[in-house]
């Protein structure tokens, strides 16, 4: 990233920039010592330079955190002085020190603004040419070697331009992600109220004894789809709560088989099978666990091929809830990115890249995790949750989630 004098992003970036400068000075100290072999008659000034370069390297490698670009420019000024002195110490031969001028401008291209780089150019040229003049080099040698500075300057400007464009592109992506997240949260807030009204009306219709028989399946289907939309809206709202550490979980003993049967009914697809051993329980918030399973089930129906099997088992003292499909599976290159926010590992236009991310956030808020396992045919998506403790009743235990990073790694 390129920085200007008033760029607040410089804070926190200084440490990395200073470390890189320190490595360059360490390299310069080593080469100054090696130069003694070729120039034994200049042993004393080369030893002095090596010691000075080593001291500067140590200072640069200290954990600086609150220096600004002016301080970084000061490091560059020291570099010009030291490199100029090195050029003088080896008798005005610029082939070695010229490379360090190039490296110094490359460093500035990574960490300073174009203005700072241009301001340093005449200082570097002065340090370089003065060292050559003091060694009485010929006019031809001087004319040839001074081309090093324009070359080094060009490299620094090219790097700065590329870094600036990459930084701008990254900022655009971050702004778009923030905008999309805010939009989805706003829509979720606005959608919940009418969904609640629709769900209430459908429940009244279901309980109406005078409802015509031919309308009962339609009302039941509408009620199921409304429930799915409500779960989706709740999932989007939970994202804000999880990221802010404000999600409150009502943890209790959950009958896994019964909950999976409810999810299969909500998804309303004949290809879904539930295969769970009787009596298996997990410690979870039933509403959030239903959200996770609906997301995984919807994902399996959309991207996989039937049948979709929902199962559960015990593994290493944890409960593993598995949603298995028999589709084409997930490409190896896409697996590390499956649970990232706004990930699009499929060309399906219905996918927005949030379902699996929501599942993982909620699973980790429970103290578990969500993972993918390739199968011989298709894929397995696994939610790992703590097992219900022995003797634990149905009384909910409220717990507040800790803050979760916006993009948790896979």
Total number of domains in the chain = 2
Is residue 236 one of the residues assigned to a domain? no
Q: Which of 174, 204, 236 is the last residue of a domain?
A: 174
The sign of the dihedral angle between the CA atoms of 166, 172, 177, 178 is positive
Q: Is the pLDDT of residue 265 over 70?
A: yes
* The predicted structure's pLDDT at residue 10: 40
Q: Contact, 383 vs 321, CB < 8 A?
A: yes
11 pLDDT exceeds 50?
no
**Statement to judge: residues 109 and 22 lie in one domain:** yes
Residue 232 inside a domain? The answer is no
Q: Which of 192-196, 250-254, 315-319, 340-344 has the lowest mean pLDDT?
A: 340-344
* Residue finishing a domain among 174, 190, 211: 174
Model confidence at 3, pLDDT cuts 50, 70, 90, reads very low
On whether residue 190 sits in a domain, the answer given is no
Do both 150 and 278 map to the same domain?
Answer: no
Query: What pLDDT is stored for residue 143 in this prediction?
Result: 62
CATH number at 321 reads 3.30.565.10
Q: Are 170 and 280 part of one and the same domain?
A: no
Same domain, 257 and 144: no
| pLDDT at residue 17, as a whole number | 75
pTM tops 0.75, yes or no: no
For 340, list phi and psi in degrees, rounded to 5. -85, 155
Nearest CA to 64 out of 11, 109, 26 is that of 11
Could you tell me if residue 406 is inside a domain? Answer: no
Beta carbons within 8 Å of 173's beta carbon, 6+ residues apart: none
For residue 312, say if its preceding peptide bond is cis, omega within 30 degrees of 0.
Answer: no
SS3 label, residue 396? coil
Looking at the structure, tell me whether residues 266 and 367 fall in a common domain. Answer: yes
What digits encode the pLDDT tens for the residues 204-225?
A: 887 777 788 888 888 888 887 7
Looking at 150, 174, 198, the residue that finishes a domain is: 174
Cα angle 373-378-379, degrees, rounded to a multiple of 5: 25
- Report the range out of 69-83, 136-150, 283-297, 391-405 with the highest average pLDDT: 283-297
179: in domain? no
Could you tell me the residue range of the domain that residue 149 belongs to? 8-174
What DSSP string runs through 97-129?
A: HHHHHHHHHHHHHHHS-HHHHHHHHHHHHHHHH
One domain, residues 52 and 150 = yes
At 279, give phi and psi (nearest 5°). 85, 0
Q: What is the pLDDT of residue 111?
A: 82
Give the tens place of pLDDT for each residue, 106-129.
Answer: 888 888 888 888 888 888 777 777
């Amino acid at each position: 990233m390129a920085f200007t004098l008033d760029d607040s992003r410089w804070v926190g970036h200084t440490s990395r920039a200073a470390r890189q400068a320190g490595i360059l000075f360490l390299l310069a100290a080593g080469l100054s010592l090696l130069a003694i072999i070729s120039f034994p008659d200049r042993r004393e000034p080369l030893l002095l330079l090596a010691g000075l370069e080593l001291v500067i390297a140590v200072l640069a490698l200290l954990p600086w955190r609150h220096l600004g670009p002016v301080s970084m420019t000061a490091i560059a000024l020291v570099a010009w002085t030291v490199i100029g002195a090195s050029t003088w110490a080896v008798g005005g031969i610029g082939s070695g020190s010229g490379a360090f001028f190039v490296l110094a401008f490359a460093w500035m291209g990574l960490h300073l603004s174009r203005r700072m780089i241009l301001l340093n150019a005449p200082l570097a040229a002065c340090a370089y040419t003065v060292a050559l003049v003091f060694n009485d080099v010929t006019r031809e040698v001087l004319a040839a070697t001074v081309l090093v500075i324009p070359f080094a300057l060009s490299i620094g400007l090219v790097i700065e331009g590329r870094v600036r464009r990459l930084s701008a592109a990254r900022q655009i992506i971050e702004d778009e992600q923030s905008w999309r997240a805010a939009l989805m949260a706003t829509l979720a807030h606005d959608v919940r109220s009418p969904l609640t009204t629709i769900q209430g009306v459908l429940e009244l219709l279901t309980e109406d004894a005078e409802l015509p028989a031919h309308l009962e399946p339609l009302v039941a289907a509408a009620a199921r789809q409304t429930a799915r939309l409500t779960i989706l809206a709740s999932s989007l709202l939970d994202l804000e709560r999880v990221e802010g550490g404000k999600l409150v979980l009502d943890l209790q003993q959950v009958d896994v088989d019964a909950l999976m049967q409810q999810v299969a009914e909500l998804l309303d697809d004949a290809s879904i099978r539930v295969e769970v051993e009787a009596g298996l329980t997990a410690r979870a918030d039933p509403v959030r666990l239903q959200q996770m399973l609906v997301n995984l089930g919807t994902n399996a129906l959309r991207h996989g091929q039937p049948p979709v099997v929902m199962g559960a088992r015990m593994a290493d003292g944890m409960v593993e809830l598995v949603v298995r499909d028999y589709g084409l599976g997930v490409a190896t290159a896409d697996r590390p990115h499956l649970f990232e926010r706004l990930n699009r590992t499929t060309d399906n236009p219905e996918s927005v890249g949030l379902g699996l991310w929501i599942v993982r956030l909620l699973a980790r808020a429970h103290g578990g995790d969500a993972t993918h396992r390739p199968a011989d045919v298709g894929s397995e998506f696994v939610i790992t949750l703590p097992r219900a403790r022995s003797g634990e009743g149905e009384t909910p235990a409220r717990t507040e989630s800790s803050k979760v990073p916006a993009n948790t790694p896979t």
